[in-house]
Chain A
């Protein structure tokens, strides 16, 4: 097995300097800002790439990444790998149907932002849910990610056939009202999701770290994305998410994320503590930090 870690002889202080320089270089040259990512987590992902490239050090990776765009693309893939599934955490979708859908019915038009959608599994899941609730036709889902290649896969909407059994179980546990197989066509190399679902999804590139808020939404889904950031960056991105929500808009976080380290915690009320559903209740939060 690969270690995904520095050789034991490697000096941890030098490693830290090298990683800081690598991330600074990537930011200056490519514009991707990983400088405030959680250190242990990004260090492990960097070493995975170093080992895969057969390189001896972080500095050697930096040299290659700065001079060779394909290496950067491979590293970007490693840094953004986020394993997901359709209807991941089925109970989240059950709670969403119960607590959020009735509220969305009161709007003539619904805007949803799925921030950090990766290859799109969860955006399609949300589209299916909204379709079954009769809301998809008046909803637009803006699904964004920093990774163009992941977005390309999301737009294609082809997922491995061997995962369909798992997705079907998730779908049923998520309160699905139909038969999951109605939403995809099995082809010899994968399952192609219904093009109908795509009509109301817009996939586009957006980077939570470096880009600004681009609209006001009724629902913002940002699940298992903030876990990769350190606390300072999390607070900054929470500000962006807060700004992007309409008053009484809903924020959905990952199952193991919470608002407890966010300066915006007082600006939300908890709709479901387990499903991590929160409603924005203060238009201009009194504790808005000066960051």
Chain B
């Protein structure tokens, strides 16, 4: 059983490809529940879940209110709602936009940090604004794990660069190495308990 209870991932521009790379690298029985927030237009068709489902054995769906956080599952924040992490499930919220965004990555990350404290992992990927930086800082301050895609290799470096500025000691990794790091943090492959 992993120490970590949730992984929250934030991205905007270039996010579909980046999320695809992450989920392709995770096994279907990956033990830590995953939540991803990608900025999308309010009228975006619910294609993202279908596209990601094609490349992963994880169960991918656009979140509905009170959906349960469980192993092997990736929940995507739906357009036009904030997604908040509760203890064991998620809640949706149609409150005001934050930094022009709903869903807001910061809102999801803050709730993950305050609900799970040092048992949350935050991952900031490619993106064209600084959403996620404040939330990632919160995760780090609560003793959780902060991971940022190397801005030098990101499709759009703004979001990861802002996250690194807010959390200088975050683990900076090329995108393709992030799944392996998540597997390691989940207690898979690289760490075996003696019998």
Contacts and interface: CB of A to CB of B under 8 A. Distances in A.
A12 B114 contact: yes
Most buried by B among A5, A81, A82, A224: A5
Interface SS of B by simple majority: mixed
Interface stretch (A28-36, A136-144, A185-193, A225-233): A225-233
A44 interface: yes
A11 to B, nearest CB: 11
Interface stretch (B25-33, B83-91, B119-127, B182-190): B83-91
Contacts, number: 83
Interface stretch (A102-110, A125-133, A242-250, A254-262): A254-262
A1 B166 CA distance: 14
A72 to B, nearest CB: 19
Interface in A3-54: 3-6, 8, 12, 38-41, 43-45
B59 to A, nearest CB: 15
Contacts of A4: 98, 107, 110
Interface string B163-192: 000000000000000000000000000000
- Measured as residues with beta carbon below 8 angstroms from the partner, the interface class of chain B is 20 to 34
Contact of A84 (B86, B94, B99, B141): B94
Contacts of B86: 38-40
Contact of B94 (A39, A224, A258, A260): A224
B91 A261 contact: no
Interface of B: 62-66, 78, 81, 84-87, 89, 91-99, 102, 106-107, 110-111, 114-115, 117, 134, 138, 141-142
Interface of A: 1, 3-6, 8, 12, 38-41, 43-45, 81-84, 224, 226-228, 231, 234, 254-258, 260-261
